[in-house]
A and B are shown apart, each in its own frame.
Chain A
């Protein structure tokens, strides 16, 4: 039996785990064991899924035996399984980190018992969105992960979190309504919501209707992916959540939006109809985002702005709709999920060790805790795209593809990408200089913990709470794991680039996807609508 038939388990396992974790709400030890165990099992399954499609091929599972286009379809191809593996790997690392934090603080920071079930639901939603071969099921996946994220965002219900949570919930609900409206329109125009079926039927619509549907879907996903000018909600809402929650949001949620945009652009609306506006949006996302980052003094907010800015790179790769560009974008998504999450986790550690996440109030951390400095330095350089890290490789791939394309706009984007990369370096270097490199006496109102004699750098007491472990081993260990994963993306960049190029090729070709869902003898419409569509 084919391993791909077990793909729905990637969604079902976390949901069952969430139910079990919810039952064990009073037994925190058992709850931790259940959630970590379930997530590890899911990760294992997804690794097998990835292995089964590593050399190409697309598999579709029809839930409940309902044939497409009527039933729900789940599709495993290279892109979706790669996303699944990366997302589950970082979810597992963040879960271990959060568990370590909960154990170190005696679960005081929040009613953490609700954290585990909600977190597993979030993972289930993300998996569902990645696997979905059906527009409405994609919507349901989005709603599962968003509803879980509302709870995680406002965990503890403190003032700032509620304030940020309100903005986040309202913006997300509005984008979901837009998505639902687009689905209704698509159904009204074609009579189907199955994505493979849509790929065939949308080609028969007239140009105006098709552009309208295309734009509506892109706007809905653009809000979720935080593409400029739809990105202003993100830096406002992410930084207030607990560190592990921000980390997993930064890694996953916007990338699900990017994933949906990729599917829309390649499968549903191939061709270059909206490539020019997408490229302009990508350029503005990169530049405006990074300029925002330079104005921040809080590390979490600064990282949120770099997150927005680097979404621009992925949209850039997507907008080129060439194998090279899309392949580099796929690689970049995998790279960015890992790096951004590890940076947010390190920021959580910085906040514990230094008592603040504002660079004005931090200093001298490199001396106080060299391991923390190392953990920050590697992903920070990786994010900025310093050779030999994967950020550099991804950006080189994008720039090569841009030069290959050779239009003036592509050159503008190449220049914008390089400038953004340099400005990212400036932003993280400022954090490094202030938080890690300068003398503690230079900080403004440093937390007492920063000035305490470093007799034992790992424990300390502060603000009435004695003997709080400042850097628990589990938290440092899980962060280290992610940093190592980020570095291994560099080491294994060769096979990974081959995989992402293949994935890009299959997505642009579309026939593998459509025939896997609708059957081998389906006529795939001519590629890319080069004659009628577009300019």
Chain B
């Protein structure tokens, strides 16, 4: 089986550029990278069909080995259609990102950041349970010596310094992320489905 060196070189170049581009943060470049990868793969499939031959239309005077292999071309056709659809969809998403965030970059996951910032100490799980020595325990002492009770006191109230106005009410900044979760009833979708 002979190989077409030009085709292989072009394929290699496309793969290299494609992989470089999908590692970018800019979505448009990622899309370009995916397109390059898809086309490089099409060339690879073409290369697996062996050397170029006659069009695979049956003619009884032509030997079987003189035709080119039609199957890879059928596969390429399918994969072109699929990558076309995916590219169109990606363009739609990128446009939507631009409309929503005014930037063409992959956004950070808010919940990920929140989990990463969660302190190791969890008041509910990790606080030492005070030993009850009194016969009539009235108050319990928390790990830091403060009173723990069912009714939050001013000291336990959440820090109101960083607050975000969401609609008519103020909520702490730490909860703003959770408020915007889809499915939360606090988010009213716009006519196109987006948040107003």
Q: Taking beta carbons and an 8 Å cutoff, which residues of A are in contact with B? A: 108-111, 136, 140, 143, 147, 150-151, 154-167, 169-170, 173-174, 176-177, 180-181, 183-185, 187-188, 193, 236, 239-243, 295-298, 301, 348, 351-352, 355-358, 361, 430, 434, 439, 441-442, 444-445, 447, 449, 462-465, 468
Q: Taking beta carbons and an 8 Å cutoff, which residues of B are in contact with A? A: 22, 27, 30, 34, 37-38, 41, 44-45, 47-48, 71-72, 75, 78-79, 82, 85-86, 89-90, 93-94, 96-97, 100-101, 106-107, 109-112, 115, 118, 124-125, 150-151, 158, 171-172, 175, 178, 180-189, 192-195
Instruction: Tell me the nearest residue of chain B to A167, going by C-beta.
Output: B106
Contact between A462 and B185, CB atoms less than 8 A apart: yes
Within the complex, what minimum Cβ distance (angstroms) separates B190 from chain A?
Answer: 9
Inter-chain CA distance A184–B187, complex, in Å, is: 46
Instruction: Tell me the nearest residue of chain B to A470, going by C-beta.
Output: B185
Within the complex, what minimum Cβ distance (angstroms) separates B26 from chain A?
Answer: 11
Chain B CB within 10 Å — which of A158, A167, A301 has the most? A158
Within the complex, what minimum Cβ distance (angstroms) separates A421 from chain B?
Answer: 21
Within the complex, what minimum Cβ distance (angstroms) separates A297 from chain B?
Answer: 8
Q: Given contacts A160-B180, A163-B109, is CB(A169)–CB(B86) below 8 Å?
A: yes
Contact between B37 and A177, CB atoms less than 8 A apart: yes
Instruction: Tell me the nearest residue of chain B to A301, going by C-beta.
Output: B111
Contact between A174 and B112, CB atoms less than 8 A apart: no
Within the complex, what minimum Cβ distance (angstroms) separates A171 from chain B?
Answer: 10
Q: Given contacts A150-B89, A163-B109, A169-B89, is CB(A355)–CB(B44) below 8 Å?
A: no
Q: Given contacts A110-B189, A183-B75, is CB(A439)–CB(B150) below 8 Å?
A: yes
Contact between B182 and A444, CB atoms less than 8 A apart: no
Contact between A158 and B194, CB atoms less than 8 A apart: yes
Inter-chain CA distance A157–B192, complex, in Å, is: 8
Q: Given contacts A136-B75, A162-B96, is CB(A108)–CB(B89) below 8 Å?
A: no
Within the complex, what minimum Cβ distance (angstroms) separates A19 from chain B?
Answer: 16
Which residues of chain B have C-beta atoms less than 8 A from A176's C-beta? 82
Within the complex, what minimum Cβ distance (angstroms) separates B81 from chain A?
Answer: 9
Contact between A355 and B182, CB atoms less than 8 A apart: no
Q: Given contacts A150-B89, A173-B86, A445-B175, is CB(A242)–CB(B183) below 8 Å?
A: yes
Which residues of chain B have C-beta atoms less than 8 A from A150's C-beta? 86, 89
Within the complex, what minimum Cβ distance (angstroms) separates A216 from chain B?
Answer: 12
A-B pair count, CB < 8 Å, reads 162
Contact between B107 and A151, CB atoms less than 8 A apart: no
Instruction: Tell me the nearest residue of chain A to B46, going by C-beta.
Output: A184
Contact between B100 and A184, CB atoms less than 8 A apart: no
Contact between B75 and A351, CB atoms less than 8 A apart: no
Contact between A170 and B183, CB atoms less than 8 A apart: no
Q: Given contacts A157-B193, A158-B194, A159-B100, is CB(A441)–CB(B151) below 8 Å?
A: yes
Contact between B182 and A156, CB atoms less than 8 A apart: yes
Which residues of chain B have C-beta atoms less than 8 A from A157's C-beta? 96, 100, 192-194
Instruction: Tell me the nearest residue of chain B to A154, going by C-beta.
Output: B93
Within the complex, what minimum Cβ distance (angstroms) separates A110 from chain B?
Answer: 5
Contact of B171 among A151, A296, A445 (CB under 8 A): A445
Inter-chain CA distance A526–B78, complex, in Å, is: 35
Which residues of chain B have C-beta atoms less than 8 A from A161's C-beta? 182
Within the complex, what minimum Cβ distance (angstroms) separates A126 from chain B?
Answer: 17
Q: Given contacts A150-B89, A187-B72, A445-B171, is CB(A355)–CB(B185) below 8 Å?
A: yes
Instruction: Tell me the nearest residue of chain B to A69, going by C-beta.
Output: B71
Contact of A162 among B85, B97, B187, B189 (CB under 8 A): B97
Contact between A174 and B189, CB atoms less than 8 A apart: no
Inter-chain CA distance A177–B11, complex, in Å, is: 14
Contact between B38 and A177, CB atoms less than 8 A apart: yes
